[in-house]
Amino acid sequence: MENVRNLDLLPQPMLQRMMQYGIAIDRDHFRELSRRLDEEMRILEAEICSYIPPEKLQEFISRSNLSSEDDYLPMNVDSGAQLARLFFDVMGIGSGRELKQTKSGNRISTGKKQLEQLKRGNPVVQKTLDYRERAKLKSTYTDALPQLAREHLARTCWCGLKHWDTTYRIHSEFLSTRTDTGRFASKNPNLQNIPVRTELGRLIRAGFIPSPGCRLVGVDFSQEEMRIGAHLSRDRNLIRIFNEGLDPHEETARIVFKIPADQKPDKLSQRDPARHLNFGIFYGLTPMGLQDQLGVTYATAGTELPEWITEEWCAELIADWYSGYSGVVDYIDQQRYRARRYGIVWTMMGRVRRVPEVRSVHRWIREAGLRQAGNAPIQGTGADWMRLVMGKLEPVFLELLNLGVWVWPLLTIHDELMVEVEELYAEYVRDRMIDAFESVLTDEDTGECVFRVPIKAEGKMMDYWKKGN
């Protein structure tokens, strides 16, 4: 009952305010970005089409589904099916290598992982990757977002004087009961998947801005899920790492690669794989999954995946991770036991996740259920924390509003909460938020905290939405 109040009811007012008020965007920024992407895509698609041999042109034209506006092109570069025909049937790219089929087995996959493997074989592959990145960003973000923006008066603040200014704002819908783990979901548009990982993607993030006279303030839990994993599993090593304030990815690299205490792990070949292990383990990582993931990492770094990264090598790495963090193995096993025995697993706060899949007659379904059982308490506890934080901060923000300080919640992305604040108070609000995050499990009366490792949060103030500080 207490959980229903704290986890389900208390976040609602803040969610309502996020949805109702929205977040401001710079429409011209997106329009300019769309124009640029369009320009680059036209060049890339023409280049890609130029790889069609002359004698095959008619065949491609007849099979493509292009509208009259772009019928100067013989094929539709957005179509995976048509690309597969060009690459694998006509050009013979990757012949002699093992090529992944699509799930339904109709054709060879043209997905990123596959293309990364093949991009040294022929320049058309890299061009396709570049085209894909741009097509994704344009259709999902730079074209769509300005369309969704509505003119909206916003409370702003100039030199301490409050007034109302015209802004163009996006009103996403945040769903409280959509996910199986307790996380929130966001739709129309989804504000929880705005790009950040690539340089080009970060230009899209930059189109999200505070109301005039305000700053964006973002606070997130640092290494939230691993800390939760450390607590729930009571693993000695994991707990020690966080209590001593060490970098968990670096420490994991030390463990699995047996690096002497006086040496630093190499970023690409040691720290990055260790990082993927740390995240992946709680997802039920398989050797093949790890190998795939590392393939992408190396390809992104512009290097070929080294010969010695085989499935067996990945399996050993996972085994080494397990022996380094044996408490985590026991913990995951316990969750799997509960899933099989009771059909449910639960978070630190007692939020329940049903996992009927573990009793399926189908092996694949069963195994997926067991992975979900291992992951759900961790991901779900993280979601619980955000719910508690929102419940705790709501009265803080309302109090500030009553005092005449403009502060308004904008969005939440699982372990992160973003608000806008009038400039003078941004730093203050950031620090209040960090406090709220870090004391999420601290009893307000006794000051006691039962968590086995420190809970850390990071905050930043921004004039536009960006990564880092």
Query: Residue 327, interface with DNA (CB under 7 A)?
Result: no
Q: At closest approach, how far in Å is the CB of 148 from DNA?
A: 9
Query: Residue 381, interface with DNA (CB under 7 A)?
Result: no
* Interactions with DNA, residue window 249-288 (CB under 7 A): 276, 279-280, 283-286, 288
Q: At closest approach, how far in Å is the CB of 75 from DNA?
A: 9
Q: At closest approach, how far in Å is the CB of 67 from DNA?
A: 9
Q: At closest approach, how far in Å is the CB of 93 from DNA?
A: 14
Strands 173-175 and 416-422: unpaired
Around 111, how many Cα atoms within 13 Å sit in the side-chain half-sphere? 11
User: Beta-carbon neighbour count of residue 193 at 10 Å?
Assistant: 11
Pick the binder of DNA from 117, 270, 335, 372 (CB under 7 A): 372
Alpha helices for 164-286 (secondary structure H): 199-205, 224-233, 236-243, 248-257, 272-281
Query: Residue 132, interface with DNA (CB under 7 A)?
Result: yes
Pick the binder of DNA from 53, 92, 111, 395 (CB under 7 A): 111
Q: Which residue has the tokens 């010695």?
A: 308
Q: How far apart are CA 331 and CA 321, in angstroms?
A: 14
Q: Which residues of 91-113 are buried (b: 16+ CB within 10 A; e: fewer)?
A: bebbeeeebeeeeeeebbbbebe
Query: Residue 375, interface with DNA (CB under 7 A)?
Result: yes
Site string for DNA, 156-195 (x = CB under 7 A): -------------------x--xxxx-x-xxxxxx-xxxx
Pick the binder of DNA from 20, 68, 95, 106 (CB under 7 A): 106
Q: Which residue has the tokens 């007034």?
A: 163
Q: How far apart are CA 94 and CA 261, in angstroms?
A: 43
3-state per-residue secondary structure call for 291-333: HHHHHHHHHHCCCCCCCCCCHHHHHHHHHHHHHHCHHHHHHHH
Yes or no: say if 146 and 27 are a contact pair by the CB < 8 Å rule. yes
* Interactions with DNA, residue window 289-308 (CB under 7 A): 289-290, 292-293
Please say which residue, 155 or 387, places its beta carbon nearer to DNA.
Answer: 387
Q: At closest approach, how far in Å is the CB of 329 from DNA?
A: 16
Q: At closest approach, how far in Å is the CB of 403 from DNA?
A: 31
Please say which residue, 176 or 423, places its beta carbon nearer to DNA.
Answer: 176
E-only strand ranges, 159-229: 161-170, 173-175, 185-187, 208-209, 214-221
Q: Which tokens hold the place of 349?
A: 């706060």
* Interactions with DNA, residue window 2-61 (CB under 7 A): none
Please say which residue, 156 or 375, places its beta carbon nearer to DNA.
Answer: 375
Q: At closest approach, how far in Å is the CB of 82 from DNA?
A: 5
Beta bridge mates, 409? 419
Please say which residue, 16 or 139, places its beta carbon nearer to DNA.
Answer: 139
* Interactions with DNA, residue window 67-86 (CB under 7 A): 76, 78-82, 84
Q: At closest approach, how far in Å is the CB of 121 from DNA?
A: 17
Count the residues of the shown chain that bind DNA, applying the rule CB under 7 A: 73
* Interactions with DNA, residue window 199-258 (CB under 7 A): 201, 220
Q: How far apart are CA 169 and CA 148, in angstroms?
A: 8
- The region of 37-45, 131-139, 206-214, 458-466 touching DNA under the rule CB under 7 A is 131-139
